[in-house]
Copies of this chain bind each other. A is one copy, B any other.
Amino acid sequence: METISIGQYDLIYNVFSFTFAAMMAATLFFWFGRSQVSDAYKTAMTVTGLVTFVAAYHYLRISQSWAEAYTAANGVVTASPIGFNDAYRYVDWFLTVPLLLVELILVMGLSRKETSSKAIRLGLLAALMVGLGYPGEIADAASGRWLWGGLSMIPFLWIVYELFVGLSRSVAQQPESARGLVKAAIWVTVLSWSFYPVVFFAGAVGLEGTTALTVVQVGYTIADLVAKAGFGVLIFLIAVRKSEADMGRAQTA
């Protein structure tokens, strides 16, 4: 039976509990922020809060599943017959990753036609990316992880291309006060998302045991915090700056 040290068990539990609290705090911050941006960016703030809300729900479930998967008593941790349900992460990503791209597109304030075409295309690519990754995550053999992980990289690279090339013209149309933040939001997306395949393929190059488990769980969690809560703060700041710029234009018009 797999054993895990009490230090590792506690660290992972506390990281999950921290992340639930941080995601709920972020959610409320974004939803309160709705009243501080102009009407054009309210939907972006709603969606930004939905992403962290759904993540908070999943981290609550993940921490409960973690608590049930092991029995900690008298300083010794034993695996219980109920396994840890790691699928909560994929269920979460299937819903939140498309929405992360939607919030970025919404805050950019493109034309209605561009907004819907980009949101549908990037949203479907993101769902496809997550859906293709899951069979690799649960594959018994390393070959399965390489196959599905490799397939999942195709929509991932397509999204990266769209973000840098497809959105670059739209970045130039942003008000000057928000342009740096929009670029930062694109970079945060690409860099924080790149962290997931690193953790994913760590399992294919033979990283095993409880240290690997700790690295994977803590790694995915930090990536989620940056990609959802940290990214959301950027979306809020962009929405505030653009609301100010729109008001300034309205006054001088």
Contacts and interface: CB of A to CB of B under 8 A. Distances in A.
Interface in A24-45: 24-25, 28-29, 31-36, 39, 42-43
Q: Among the interface residues A25, A29, A85, A88, which one has the most CB atoms of the partner chain B within 10 A?
A: A25
A126 to B, nearest CB: 15
Contacts of A83: 72, 75
B85 A74 contact: no
B73 A81 contact: yes
B36 A53 contact: no
Given A18-B94, A36-B43, A95-B22, A53 B75 contact: no
Interface in A66-108: 72-75, 81-83, 85, 87-88, 90-92, 94-95
Interface residues on A, range: 35 or more
Interface stretch (A54-62, A141-149, A166-174, A205-213): A54-62
A180 to B, nearest CB: 12
A34 B46 CA distance: 12
A29 B48 CA distance: 11
Contacts of A82: 72-73
A47 interface: yes
A14 B87 contact: yes
A243 to B, nearest CB: 11
A127 to B, nearest CB: 12
A87 B24 CA distance: 19
A13 B34 CA distance: 34
A154 interface: no
Contacts of A21: 54, 57-58, 91-92, 95
B10 A85 contact: yes
Contacts of A46: 28-29, 32-33
A50 interface: yes
Nearest to A22: B95
Given A32-B31, A95-B22, A17 B61 contact: yes
A107 B58 CA distance: 33
17 contacts: A10-B87, A14-B85, A14-B88, A18-B95, A21-B54, A21-B95, A24-B53, A25-B53, A28-B46, A28-B53, A29-B46, A32-B34, A32-B42, A33-B43, A36-B39, A36-B43, A74-B81
